[in-house]
Structure formats: structure tokens, C-alpha cells
Amino acid sequence: MGSNSNFGNKTFKDLFPYVDSSSPVTAQFLNEVANKGLKYITENNNRDTKVVNFKTPEELEKLIDFKVKEDPESLETILNEVDNILKYVVRTGHPRYFNTLWSGADITAVAGEWLTTSTNTSMFTFETAPVYIMMEKFMWNLMCNLVGFKNGDGIFFPGGSLCNIAAINLARFRFNPSIKEEGIFGQKRLIIYASEESHYSIMKGAALCGFGTKSVVKLKTDPSGKIIPEDLEKQIKESIEKGDQPMIVVATAGTTVGGAYDPINKLADITEKHNIWLHVDGAWGAPCMLSSKHKHFMSGIERADSLTWDPHKMMGLLQQCAFLLVKEKGLLHRCNSANASYLFQQDKTSYDVSYDTGDKTFVCGRRNDVFKLWLYFKSKGMKGVEEDINQCFANSRHLAAKVIERDGFELLREPECANTCFIYIPPRIAAMPKGEERDRELKKVAPMIKHRMTDRGTMLIAYQPLKEHLNFFRMINANPGQTFEDMEFIVDEIERLGKDL
Amino acid sequence: MGSNSNFGNKTFKDLFPYVDSSSPVTAQFLNEVANKGLKYITENNNRDTKVVNFKTPEELEKLIDFKVKEDPESLETILNEVDNILKYVVRTGHPRYFNTLWSGADITAVAGEWLTTSTNTSMFTFETAPVYIMMEKFMWNLMCNLVGFKNGDGIFFPGGSLCNIAAINLARFRFNPSIKEEGIFGQKRLIIYASEESHYSIMKGAALCGFGTKSVVKLKTDPSGKIIPEDLEKQIKESIEKGDQPMIVVATAGTTVGGAYDPINKLADITEKHNIWLHVDGAWGAPCMLSSKHKHFMSGIERADSLTWDPHKMMGLLQQCAFLLVKEKGLLHRCNSANASYLFQQDKTSYDVSYDTGDKTFVCGRRNDVFKLWLYFKSKGMKGVEEDINQCFANSRHLAAKVIERDGFELLREPECANTCFIYIPPRIAAMPKGEERDRELKKVAPMIKHRMTDRGTMLIAYQPLKEHLNFFRMINANPGQTFEDMEFIVDEIERLGKDL
């Protein structure tokens, strides 16, 4: 606690803007905070550090003084409480944190966020965020070129779910622009087609946009988890026969669980024929396009109408960084604009008001999510970014090879994106005859192993059921700082934690 | 540029996670970045610093090297480019930045964001964000107590617009839960009532949710900008006569332009009688509840069904910090849940899974927006927060008094929230006879003054038209670091910039 005591009984009243144009206490306080952040990040990168020092909700309520008092608390007290909090935070930047579709903490992204914070702004107008608006413009050019959208456009949303929801809304607008004003009350049922393994935001979006979840037709997938194009043809035909209106097909590039890439070209053949919007949810898997080795998974992407991409997932860009690319420039604006006179004055004379981007979305203020993304690309160059992506993919394949080798482990699918799904069967259960009782026992294994790894804090990895599969582990390689040795550690540790079950 | 050259030709390859568990370069790099952030914030707090060093889009493209190369760039180059960028960023934390409904940069919030970045997480499950989930729980208790929601709940959304949209969606779900599955195709037109001065997110939300903007009935306001309750009664009657279904009334607590508070108690009398959802959009004005002096503006708030509140506005909490409070606990979950098995495993054994909050919303990953808010409250105490709010309100009233005193200035409305709307009429135009030509000339004044202040960089303030009023200035007091002297500066500077027009 040493350095915190240097603050004596100073409080927020000793910080900007409560003191005049020089404030050594502000400098001391923010330096202290930056050092705590840096120390935390440094510990993350030591594999001997525990991933989590797990406490239950009830324990945390006792360990941390959450209560807000009537009077200010001293800066020393605040910083001591910060130290306390940092003890119990889950280390998602640790190379043994595998629990979610994002992990790691790219240092250039951390730098970008710290500067984003210091230069707080909102991305609705050029006059409020001139440099960052230009950065976004640059980024959409880069990304549209990569994808092959010759006259495309882009915008950040706070997360991939909202990108998908925005795409559904765009598809509806293109189908019938008068719906923006009239609503869908008098319409035929508008249909959204998506893989049975698609992300749940499609269901949530269907509900939010007024279609209802019943408007989502789930398409069958093959054993590798890809949409079967013939099923799409069949479902479209059935919709039309029922008097419904096909509106949008959502292909997934890198499914949440299995990491499958839907066959974009084959789906585009169908959507083009029927004049249906083709959206690709690449929230997780789109970064393969940055790798000459793996971009084939998304061949045909230039035929899509829109694409979701979350750099806060595989690229380590920190919550939140997600964007939607749209093939047809101008559509985002026509679909979402409300022309608020308090923000988008058309008689401004300092600059061309077409640089005001705020009316391209259904939100108003938008966080600056571009600075860190630009710094990431700028500092790594296209080659460095490609190496990051290749490392994530290589790790998932290395783990798959280890899983195949090792007794008691079974690989569920060959990896496409950087997911590796596998099951662990302890010797006692392996010896049981196949059947209901074995299944019942097997289903308990992954939750028990998860409980034990949480207690030990050695790593965190997710488990879940899917279709006919009982609880299995879903390994995600989102952090290029993870190594082949880390992949081997996973297999060893699961065996160590579960072999007696 | 001095210290940046210490990095020699080091690149991202010298940072975590590309190097082993000790990385002096990472420490040096992040320290340098923190120092740049701190220097920027310190300059903000010097009134002699220009608010903006304005460059057009074309100029910025020449001044900043946005291009991403094939190879990595050195850390020195990156940091030099950061220095360059910081020259052209608009200083929204400067006490003379008055341009938007948010400004200032609370230092405890900066600290919270830096630590949020360092401990990057997503708020969907307790296992991924244990401390922060508990912090949110604490915050909802505090806020629900303040509002008088005895069994309420809350959730952060990325901005007030999405909070309002979420409220509209909740109202629909409570009206008829089967709509979540069925959609609204077969329904009567569902009607949203809102002030003609309400925020544009109501229109955008109506379009997104499938109602169409035609489903929004704009209610008449009195000269102070408040909804006229009799007009609501009349409009509800008309909707019913037309065969439409009244669904939600949106009252605004602190309108975007004029800062008016709609009369909650009178509106609640009507919504309770007709069993219509009452939502209060307090994105801007809700902080008055933290002040014993000003909370009367929102009396009756405990009768509302939901409330939007953006601490990133008046409280200086930095983009993004916005939440929705809901009176009926459990409704957020029932309305939005999709029960994804990959995230919300019900057979987890380490903790009570009711702490997993991710299914309470239609987004998936959620940024940690609570740490900074909690630090703000914790370090200031309820008394310090109240002082901040009172300062913002006092500033707006001081400016109104100065505007009334000064020749050539006209106050449009008595301030309620911390907005001051006024017009400046230069002597030449004041001497013109009233009529079209005078109006035409007067309309050009505010844009010209805005252009000149942008060039000089002395301050930034927004102008706009509203109803019968030509372009006028809308002053916003969102930064408690602003003083009465700053208010006097506004009047002086506008006169200086515009008296020859």
C-alpha cells in the first residue's frame, strides 16, 4: 500500500478541475493509476500468476467496501480500494484465460484506450471529433478494399450484436423504404434465415425489430457446422408458399461455438437469384481475411451486402471495438437519419457537413472506438497483423492435434476458425457401457473440472452442450500471445483436474 | 519529440505479449502514453490553451500520416504521430468547450477508464467480471433507492438512445409478451407519445423496432417547453378512436435543446388511468435528483416505469456511461433473454447463476461502464456529487442573468435544467425593421460567429433553430469546472466575434 499513503488526506478537491491550472496531485494520482494498470498487465504476462482469485458474490460483498458515503473519501482510501479490487478481477489478458470469444490485451490497444479516455469525445460530428472522423474514414477505405466493397461504407457499433441488428434493419429498409415511416404492421411476415448455429443476436434482433423470433428460420448445418445451401433453397420456397416474404440471409463466418464458416459463394448464388440481402456475421471469424493462408474461408465475401466484424474478439482490441461494413454507400444514412437540427446544422460553414457521421446510426453519441484500432494496424503493419491471426489459427490446430493424440480426449470437429471443441472422458466413465447412465455421468465432468480450475485459478475455459453433444470444452484462441506450450498445458491440466471423476 | 526517440528502432515486437514476462519497453511505452494523456489533460485546464486548432478534412489528410504500411512502424514513429494527432483533437475537457450535451473530464472517471482498459472484460457473466458485476448490483441499489423504485433493476446500455429504445421494447413486451415471438405484424398500430421537443432517438427507436416513425405522436408543449398534459389526454382519445393502441408515453427530464422537465406527476395520472407505460428520458436532466435544491423538477419519478440516465453527460463520466432503470425487476430478463448455452450454463457450480446479467439485454458483450461511475461516487461522496450538479445549474442561471443584462442579447427561456438558450443580435440588424429581410440576416449571424470562434479556438458553443426561433445559441453546463467568469466570457466573446455582423 506504500505509495498510496503519499496522498495524505487529499481528496478529489485537490484534482482538476477543482484546482487551478497546475495540479501536482492530479499528476501524482494519474501516474499512480497508470502504474497500477501497468503492474497488473505485467503480472498478466507471467504464467505463474493465477488467472483468477475466485470469490463468491457473498465473499466479494465482505471483501470490498462498495458503499458510497455522504462525504468524500480520501484519494489514499480510493487507491487502497483499487488495489483491493485488482486482486479479485479475472485476468482476461492472461495467456491462460481461454474462457470467451475474446482475450488478451494488445498493448497498442491499451495505449489507444488511454489516449481515447484522455481526449474523450463523441463521434457524431466532424466539429467534435475531427481527427477521429478522418481515422474512421481511412479505416473504412482499408476494410472495404480488403473485403472488395468498391463503393462501401462502415460504422462502429457497440458490439457485434448491434452490428447484426443494424444489418437486419438495413435489409428491411432496402426491401421497402416506406417501412421506416409506416412500420411493419400491414406487411407480410418478413423472414430472416440463419444457421442453426448462428449467434443468438439474430433471435434478439428479430424480437427487437418487431419481427418476432418466429420470423427466424434456422437452416440446417452439415457435420462441420456449415449451412447446407440446399436447405436454404428449400426454406425460401416454403416461406413463399406460406405467403411470407424472404428478407435476409445471415451467413456466419466463424460460428460462436464450433468456428465454422458458412459457404458464402453458394449462399450468394441463392440470395442473388431471389434478391435477398446477404449479411455475413464475421464478428469472430472475419480476421481470416487478413491472412493469405486462411482468407479462403471467406471467399465470395465481396458478394455479400454487409459484414459484421469485432476486432475486440480475435484481434485483442479490448471491449468495445466492432463495426459493420455495408456494400451500398449512403444506405446507412437513408435508413437511420433523423436530421436533428441541434447536431447536424446544414448551414455550418467551417467544413463540408457530409463529414458528420452521426446520422448513419440509430444511436446518438458514439464512443471513439477507432483510435486503438488504427494504432494497432499502424504499429504492426499488415504483416504484423497477419502474423497475429496466423498464430491464433495455428494454436487451435496444434491443440486439435494434441487432443487427437491424448487418451481420454476426443476432438469434436476439425478446426476452421480458431475454435477447438473437444471432450474429456475420465477413465472411470470411459469404462462404463454406453448409454443413459454414462451420459448422465459424463455430463457432470466438464462443470466439475470448470469448478476445480476456477478454484485453483490455473486457467479458465468454457464448456457447453450443442445438439447431440454433451458438455464439452470450447477452446478459443483469440490471443496471439498464447503458445503451443499453452495448448499442451490445457490438455495436461484438464486431465490433472478430471482424471479422478 | 525528445522522449519518443528513446525507443530507437523498437517496435511492437518488443512489447507484451511478444516478449517474455518482463518487458521494460512495455513499461516505458505505456508510461510515455500516460504522460502524454496527463499533459493533454493539464493543458485542458489552462484557459489560455485553444479549445481547437481547427483544420479542415483536406488539411488533416495532409497533416497526419493515416496510412497503414505493410511493415510495422517503430514505436518512436507511432508516438510522434500521437503527438501530432493530439495537436488537432478538439479539447472537450476544456472549460470553454460548451458545444455538446457533455463536456469536461472528471479525473476519477479518467482513472476508472484507465483501469477498465487494463482489466478489460465483458459484463455478461459473473465468472468473467465478478467484481464489476457486484459493483453494478451496488449501483442499481443506490440508484433505485434514489428514484424510489422499491424492487427495481438496472442495466448499462451504450448510450441514452439505446436506453430509450430498450424502454420502448420493454413497454411492448409488457403490453403483450407474445410479441417477442410473434412480432407485430398482426397487431393494431402501437403508439408512442413523446414531446415535440423529445430526443430524436424516439423516432429512430420507433423505426428500428418496426413501429415506424408514424407511430410516434408528438405532444404539444407550452412556452416553457413542457408537455401539455391535456394534449396527451386528447391524443390518447384520438388514437383509440382511430383503432390504434396507446403503448408508451415518453416524458423528457431535461430536453436536449431547451432543458425543460416534463410534468411527471400529471403525466403519470394519465398513464396510470390508461395502463400505459411511462418512460422518463432523463439522459441529460436526471442528475437533478442528486441535488436537494433541484430534485423537485422530477417529482413523481417513482411513478414512472423506467428511466434513462447518462452520467456521461452532466456528470462528466466520459463516453460511454448510460443506464436504464426499470421499476419491475425481472422484466429486462424476460423481455430480452435468449438463454444461449455457450454463455449462460445453468449447471455451473461455483456461484449462483442469477448473477449472470448478460441476458437482460439485446446486446451480447457489454463494456465495463461501471468502474468509473463507482469511483466517481466513491471519491466524491453524495455531497461532492451534489456540489457538482449544483454548480452546473448555477452556471446556467448566472449566464441567463448576464444575457438579460447585456444589450443585444435575448434569453429565450428561463433555465430549468443546465441549458441556457439565447440569441445575439448585432447592432446593424437590431436597427433593421422587423420582417423577412431582418430574419434572413439574423439567421446568418450564429453560423458566422461559430465559424469565427472555431477559427480562433477561443470556445465552442452550439447554435440551432427551434420552432419559431431562428438560429440561437444553446449553452450547456455539463462541466462543474466551469465558473461564473466562464459564463461572462461567453457573452463577451460572442459580442466581440459578432458585433460587426
What is the domain-level CATH number for residue A411? Answer: 3.90.1150.170
Contacts with B146 from chain A: Cβ below 8 Å: none
CB pairs under 8 A between A and B: 533
**A222 in helix, strand or coil?**
coil
- Is A374 within a domain? no
Instruction: Verify whether the Cβ–Cβ distance A17 to B481 is below 8 Å.
Output: yes
> Which amino acid is present at B334?
R
Of A367, A396, A417, which closes a domain? A367
> What three-state secondary structure class fits B219?
strand
Residues B37 and B180 occupy one common structural domain: no
- What is B447-489 written as a DSSP string? HHHHHHHHHHTS-EEEEEEETTEEEEEEEE---TT--HHHHHH
pLDDT for the residue numbered A1: 45
Closest approach of chain B CAs to the CA of A271, in angstroms? 23
**Closest alpha carbon to A306 in A363, A354, A255, A268:** A268
Of B260, B280, B186, nearest to B419 by C-alpha is B260
Q: Does B338 have pLDDT greater than 70?
A: yes
Q: What share of chain A is helix, strand, coil (3-state, %, to 5)?
A: 45, 15, 40
Closest chain A residue to B349, measured at CA: A451
Overall average pLDDT of the B381-390 stretch: 98
Structural domain contains residue B113: no
Query: Cβ contact (<8 Å) for B60 and A130?
Result: yes
Contacts of A355 in chain B (CB under 8 A): 57
Task: Please report, for the domain that includes residue A342, its CATH number.
Answer: 3.40.640.10
Are A92 and B128 in contact (CB < 8 Å)?
A: yes
Asked if B186 and B81 sit in the same domain, the reply is: no
Q: How far is the C-alpha of B264 from the C-alpha of B278, rounded, in Å?
A: 9
SS3 B180: helix
Which three-class secondary structure state does DSSP give residue B101? coil
Q: Residue B21 — pLDDT band, cuts 50, 70, 90?
A: confident
Q: Which residues of chain B make contact with A444, given a CB cutoff of 8 A?
A: 347
Q: Is residue A112 part of a domain?
A: no
pLDDT tens digits in sequence order for chain A, 501 residues long: 468 999 999 999 999 999 988 899 999 999 999 999 999 999 999 999 999 999 999 999 999 999 999 999 999 999 999 999 999 999 999 999 999 999 999 999 999 999 999 999 999 999 999 999 999 999 999 999 999 999 999 999 999 999 999 999 999 999 999 999 999 998 999 999 999 999 999 999 999 999 999 999 999 999 999 999 999 999 999 999 999 999 999 999 999 999 999 999 999 999 999 999 999 999 999 999 999 999 999 999 999 999 999 999 999 999 999 999 999 999 999 999 998 888 888 999 899 999 999 999 999 999 999 999 999 999 999 999 999 999 999 999 999 999 999 999 999 999 999 999 999 999 999 999 999 999 999 999 999 999 999 999 999 999 998 888 889 999 999 999 999 999 999 999 999 999 999
A194, A204 contact by CB (below 8 A): no
Question: Is B88–A455 a contact, with Cβ atoms under 8 angstroms apart?
Answer: no
- Closest partner CB to B341 (pick from A88, A379, A464): A464
Contact check, Cβ <8 Å, B380/A56: no
B47 shares its domain with B157: no
At B1 the pLDDT is: 45
Task: Give A340→chain B minimum CA distance, Å.
Answer: 7
Q: Can you give the pLDDT at residue A316?
A: 94
Inter-chain residue contact B342 with A61, CB threshold 8 Å: no
Using an 8 Å CB-CB cutoff, list chain B residues near A348: 447, 450-451
d(C-alpha B360, C-alpha B61), whole Å: 43
Average the pLDDT over each of A268-282, B351-365, B448-462 and give the range with the smallest value: B351-365
Domain identity same for B405 and B321: no
Q: Nearest residue on chain B to A108, judged by CA atoms? A: B12
- pLDDT tens, B148-198? 999 999 999 999 999 999 999 999 999 999 999 999 998 999 999 999 999
Residue with cell 491462460: A96
pTM over 0.90: yes
Residue B108 is assigned to a structural domain of this protein: no
Q: Are residue B173 and residue B257 in the same domain, yes or no?
A: yes
Using the Cβ of B82 and the Cβ atoms of chain A, whether some distance falls under 8 Å is answered with yes
Distance from CA of A432 to the nearest CA of B (A): 23
If you measure CA to CA, which chain B residue comes closest to A368? B319
- Asked whether residue A174 is domain-assigned, the answer is yes
Cβ atoms of A216 and A244 within 8 Å: the answer is: no
Based on the domain organization, do B74 and B176 belong to the same domain? no
What is the maximal distance between C-alpha atoms in chain B? 79
Q: Which residue of B has its CA nearest to A126?
A: B57
Joined grid coordinates for residue B87: 495537436
Residue B341 has pLDDT above 90, yes or no: no
Give the CA count within 13 Å in the CB-facing half-sphere of A271: 27
Residues B389, B451 within the same domain: yes
Question: Looking at the structure, do residues B401 and B360 belong to the same domain, yes or no?
Answer: no
DSSP assignment, residue B210? T
Taking the Cβ of residue B11 and every Cβ of chain A, the question of whether any pair is shorter than 8 Å is answered with: yes
Mutation choice for A interface testing from B61, B76, B120 by most A CBs within 10 A: B120
Q: Which of A338, A384, A444 sits opposite B200 (nearest CB)?
A: A338
Judge whether A118 is closer than 8 Å to chain B, CB to CB: yes
Q: Is B466 on the interface with A (CB under 8 A)?
A: yes
Residues B171 and B67 both lie in one domain: no
Report which of B470, B474, B384 is spatially closest to residue B435, judged by C-alpha positions: B470
Q: What share of chain B in percent tops pLDDT 90?
A: 95
**Amino acid at the residue B433:** P
Q: Establish if A268 belongs to a structural domain.
A: yes
* Minimal C-alpha gap between A424 and chain B (Å): 17
Contact A69, A78 (CB under 8 A): no
State the DSSP string of A284-348: TTGGGGG-TTTGGGGTTGGG-SEEEE-TTSTT---S--EEEEESSTTHHHHHH----TTT--TT-
Task: Tell me which residue in A114, A142, A208 faces B169 most closely, judged by beta carbons.
Answer: A208
Interface of B with A in 427-446 (CB under 8 A): 443-444
Q: Pick the residue of B117, B192, B308, B466 with the most A CBs within 10 A to test the interface with A by mutation.
A: B117
A92 and chain B: CB distance < 8 Å anywhere? yes
Tally of structural domains, chain A: 3
Quote the cell numbers at residue B415.
433555465
Q: How far apart are CA A357 and CA A134, in angstroms?
A: 11
Closest CA to A10 of B311, B107, B388: B107
Whether residues B245 and B392 share a domain: the answer is: no
Same-domain status, A313 and A353:
yes
Helix (H, G, I), strand (E, B) or coil at B412: coil
By the CB < 8 Å criterion, does A114 face chain B?
A: yes
pLDDT of residue A2: 62
At B2 the pLDDT is: 62
Chain B residues in contact with A200 (beta carbon < 8 A)? 338, 340, 364
Q: List the beta bridge partners of residue A154.
A: A325
A120, A179, A391: best to mutate for the B interface, most B CBs within 10 A: A120
Report if residue B46 sits inside a domain. yes
For chain B, the average pLDDT equals 97
Tens of pLDDT, residues B239-248: 999 999 999 9
Residues A207, B64: C-beta atoms closer than 8 Å: no
In a domain, B443, yes or no: yes
- Residue that finishes a domain, picked among A346, A367, A388: A367
* Same-domain pairing of A187 and A138: yes
For B23, the domain range is: 2-91
Measure in Å the smallest separation between the Cα of A305 and chain B Cα atoms. Answer: 19
Residue B17: is the preceding peptide bond cis (ω within 30°)?
yes
Where among A320, A335, A367 does a domain terminate?
A367
